[in-house]
Structure 1
Amino acid sequence: MDTLAGRILGDRAEELLAYHHAHGDHPILAEARGQVIVRSRFTESRLAEAVERGVRQYVLLGAGLDSFAYRNPLDVTVFEADHPATQQWKRHQLEKAGIAIPERVSFVGVDFETDSPLERLTENGFDPEIPSFFCWLGVVPYLSRESVRRTLAQLPPGAELVADYMLPQHLRDEAGNAYATAVSAVAAEHGEPWLSYFEPDEMSLLLKESGFAHVEHFNQRDAIAPALWQRQDALAPRRLSQLVHAR
């Protein structure tokens, strides 16, 4: 459970959370919540398993407002890689909320379209020789295919990765297509168009070309325990995006 999200949102937390409570059954809002909850739970569960296997570095590629580093129960150093402007705003929100930045957290400024993430990380204390886990959520659709390929190819040997990606139209269900049509249009209006979609086989090939030998894909239904979908609210699994776990 994320106990820090409201505090990080600051002055707008009450307004934003109240809107979701009032309109929780709206299909767009419900799908957005479902995506974020499932992918975060899936990733943090895989991270915990990786730490048991010896992983000691956790890299969030496109960290956004992810709060893991500030409620971290694991023996792992966290690197938050994101656009410098986003990081500056996040650090301001953390300070306003009185949330301390742990010593084992580093902020790494990266532009995924132009920078080498691995170079930026090593400049900020990341050790490519130490077993590491990479989280890449909510980023791939906004990048060109070439940027996705280039970033994957730079991940160090032995890396473990969880990422999510958008399915093309013919692999989405009706609800997924309705969400994609509405949200991608708004994203484009705000200067952040969706640029890439992948079939699972395409993503598998890209990962294997980048050195990953073990690749598994998960849709929303399969990414969490089946019992968690036995519910009466508006949250339901959709065919919109996929999670991939690679080692």
Structure 2
Amino acid sequence: MSAAARAAHLIVDETPSIFADTLAHTFLGERAEELLDYHRSYGGHPVLSGARTTAVTRSRYTEDRLAELAGRGVDQYVILGAGLDSFAYRSELAASVRVFEVDEPTTQQWKRALLVETGTTVPPSAVFVPVDFEKESARSLADHLVRAGFDPGRPALVSWLGVTMYLTPEAIRRTLAVICGFAPGTELIVEHLLPAGLRDEVGQSYAELVMAAAAEQGEPWQTFLSIEQMDTLLLEHRLQPIEYARQRETINPAEWERTDTLRPFELSVLARARVVALHQRSR
């Protein structure tokens, strides 16, 4: 659904685009037209426009930050819960950044089969790392990454988008415990959903509709965190919070002056934090 939202953004929303995922349509495979027809026919529906807003703003924010870090020499990018992320296959930046796609084994098998079916070339910089976030230990995630060629002694960017709401708090803590052990200078961008009392009307409506659909599909939303709760969680794991970006803050204000149906709403937040040296680990 996230890939469909990114693909639909280039079809139903105005230009200039907030984010251009030029492979999302291809990655939808044989379901492309079915999924995109919903956006073509009902693109203004709050769930569909909300899905596009969420998908493109979080991707834009994350890849903009990756470009900044790559300009400073960071050349490792870890995508937790990669799904149908297409960065490694479409971005010129991927030629100079090693991309570690981490996901559940079955999801990764499906994606790899899809890459073959669509004739998508897998570049040498792309590495698949199958991990079950709920069942495997924190040490296991680190071990899988290292075996795949990740160097925990050098800084990286770790993105964790569209995942934490599906995990238990303990699974989130286990993953943060791994990330805080990476090299100082490593940054984490993690998306979290706000509890009901902190959402605006649009965010609450979107959450109610999408939560019900996710539960029916066997993937219920489990964890919601306020900014203060995420702040505490990061600090507990020796990760220094840098900024919390709500949807409105992920792009330049002028880019929200739109005639299409994309509007920022209060539901998701992108937390950005940095691994610091041991002697610096205080607020």
TM category, shorter: over 0.9
Residues 1-247 of structure 1: matches in 2 within 5 Å? 1-74=20-93, 75-115=96-136, 116=138, 117-155=141-179, 156-158=182-184, 159-247=186-274
Q: Which amino acid aligns with 1:157?
A: A
User: Residue 28 of structure 2 aligns to a residue in which SS?
Assistant: helix
Alignment-mate amino acid for residue 131 of structure 1? P
| Bigger shift: residues 74-83 or 11-20 | 11-20
Q: CA deviation at 1:215?
A: 2.4
The answer on whether the counterparts of 2:243 and 2:273 sit within 8 Å (CA) in structure 1 is yes
**Amino acid of the residue matched to residue 150 of structure 2?**
F
CA separation in 2, counterparts of 1:62 and 1:221?
Answer: 24
Amino acid paired to 2:132: D
Please state how far the C-alpha of 1:203 moved relative to its aligned partner.
0.5
Shift of 1:181: 0.8
User: 1:213 Cα deviation (Å)?
Assistant: 2.1
In 1, distance between residues paired with 2:228 and 2:40? 38
How far off is 1:4 after superposition?
0.7
Q: How far did 1:232 drift? A: 1.2
Give the residue type in structure 2 aligned to 1:208: L
Displacement of 1:160 in angstroms is 0.6
1:3 offset after TM fit, Å?
0.9
In structure 2, C-alpha distance between the alignment counterparts of 1:121 and 1:139, rounded to whole Å? 18
User: Structure 1 regions of 5+ residues with no counterpart?
Assistant: none
Are the equivalent residues in 1 in contact too, given 2:234–2:241 (CA < 8 A)? no
Contact 1:63–1:82 (Cα < 8 Å) also in 2: yes
2:193 is aligned with what amino acid?
M
Residue pair 1:204, 1:215 contacting (<8 A) in 2 also: no
Deviation (angstroms), 1:101: 0.5
> What is the number of equivalent residue pairs in this alignment?
247
8 Å contact 2:241–2:271 — kept in the other structure?
no
CA RMSD of aligned residues (A): 1.0
Q: How far apart, CA to CA, are the structure 2 residues paired with 1:205 and 1:93?
A: 39
SS of aligned partner of 1:213: strand
- Superposition deviation, residue 18 in structure 1: 2.2
What amino acid maps onto 1:242 in structure 2? V
Runs of 4+ in 1 over 6 A off after TM superposition: none
Shift of residue 21 of structure 1? 1.3
> What's the TM-score once normalised by structure 1's chain length?
0.97
Q: Given the two structures, how large is their TM-score scaled by the length of structure 2?
A: 0.85
Gaps of 5+ in 2: 1-19, 275-283
